[in-house]
Amino acid sequence: MKKPDKKSALAEIHGVDQPDAVNQSVANAVQKFRRKQPTAQELIEAILKGDKIALSRAITLIESTNPEHLERANEVIQGCLPYANKSVRIGITGVPGVGKSTFIEAFGKYLTSLGKKVAVLAVDPSSSISHGSILGDKTRMEELVKDENAYIRPSASGDSLGGVARKTRESIMLCEACGFDTIIIETVGVGQSETAVHSMVDFFLLLKIAGAGDELQGIKRGIMEMADTIVINKADGDNIAKAKLAKTEFNRALHLFPAKNSGWIPKVTTCSAFEKTGIDKVWEIIAEYFELTKENNYFEQKRKEQNQYWMLETINEQLKNRFYSHPEIMSLLEQNKKAVQNNELSPFAAAQMLLEKYFNF
Ligand SMILES: Nc1nc2c(ncn2[C@@H]2O[C@H](COP(=O)(O)OP(=O)(O)OP(=O)(O)O)[C@@H](O)[C@H]2O)c(=O)[nH]1
Ligand SMILES: [Mg+2]
């Protein structure tokens, strides 16, 4: 690549004045923008004051693969930890096109109108390809994006769901420390991501539409079982009657599931994210759930269990990563794969040999 001409505005040499062609005030603004990276302490202080830019910067550190960034990220998380937790965390899932983004826009605006501070994060296993679904449809959240009391962050990308989920989980804590009291985690209901989301939220909302069979909606029974409420969206126009019918059917279906440990009986309701109707009813249900589970201590208990779960998950993830990225293991693994394929070595003996090698390094 051709080096920029020293007189060009593209070149910046320390101690050398900018050529006249450069607007000094613009240059100063750019330089200020590029000022040195804030320290962990500076980030913590800004986050605790509710600074959304600092929050974004810290989340970027969490998402980075640079070890120096991760170290700083851990420091920030540690510093914010005592201030996190004062929130409710709501997971929202549903197949593509069901209206999640439109719903979150309407629901989020409703919550901020009640004086709540809302953060929206996403766990999207496909985001490394699509660069985050939320980012793509910020247009669907036009109002919420502009809302001073809302914060929307596109999903972290990564090659493993475990990694993406951990980053989201850490981001939740930072959002809470930043003063957000209602955290919404969106995920597409087609893979395993809802299990990960379920393990980081207090309440799980399944968004559906009437008229499409369960096969069509790609919803597995397990997801129905996880749901604390089923919301049938697009209950507007010609769809209202169908939505009501679906509500009755889902109510019946939910009765077939075993009772939940929370003591909560899942509820079904209808809404139109588009026309912003029925949104208040959804919040009413969620508020009722929190009242019940805070009263019977399930809320606290579940969070404690989730913390333990995430500790173990993190250990699993890191052990696995370290093992598979160890240079000697990598080459031995290739050899053993071939040996196993050719029946020269049993799969168990091969695995045992590799594990023993690894733990003796
Ligand atoms: N009639 C009607 N249309 C809706 C409603 N909510 C969403 N839509 C439409 O349904 C389409 C999909 O909505 P999205 O909000 O993008 O759905 P999504 O679940 O976020 O989709 P993905 O991001 O692809 O997973 C859009 O064309 C919306 O305008 C509703 O309540 N009523
Ligand atoms: Mg969407």
14: tokens are 């320390």
3-class DSSP state of 262: coil
- pLDDT in tens for each of the 361 residues of the chain? 444 444 555 555 555 555 667 677 777 777 666 657 899 999 999 999 999 999 999 999 998 878 889 899 999 999 999 988 789 999 999 888 899 999 999 999 999 999 999 999 988 766 444 444 455 555 678 899 899 999 998 776 666 777 788 888 999 999 999 999 999 999 876 667 778 888 899 999 999 998 766 544 545 667 888 899 999 999 999 999 999 999 998 888 888 888 888 999 999 999 999 999 999 999 999 999 999 999 999 999 999 999 999 899 889 888 988 899 899 999 999 999 999 999 999 999 999 999 999 999 8
3-class DSSP state of 228: coil
Cα(272) to centroid of ligand 1, in Å?
Answer: 10
Phi, psi at 348, each rounded to 5°: -70, -40
Asked if residue 222 has its Cβ within 6 Å of ligand 1, the reply is no
**Mutate which of 219, 274, 276 for ligand 1 pocket (most atoms within 8 A of beta carbon):** 274
CA nearest ligand 1 atom 14, residue: 99
CA nearest to 87, candidates 151, 38, 145? 151
CA nearest ligand 1 atom 25, residue: 96
Q: Which residue's structure tokens are 């507007």?
A: 236
Cα(133) to centroid of ligand 2, in Å?
Answer: 6
Whole-prediction pTM value?
A: 0.83
HSE-CB at 59 with a 13 A cutoff on CA atoms is 29
Asked if residue 38 has its Cβ within 6 Å of ligand 1, the reply is no
Q: If DSSP states are collapsed to H, E and C, what string results for 108-153?
A: HHHHHHCCCCEEEEEECCCHHHHCCHHHHCHHHHHHHHHCCCEEEC
Find all residues with CB under 8 Å of 91, minimum gap 6, and list them: 184, 185, 187, 194, 197, 198, 200, 201, 203, 204, 205
Asked if residue 171 has its Cβ within 6 Å of ligand 1, the reply is no
Q: Which residue's structure tokens are 């998380």?
A: 77
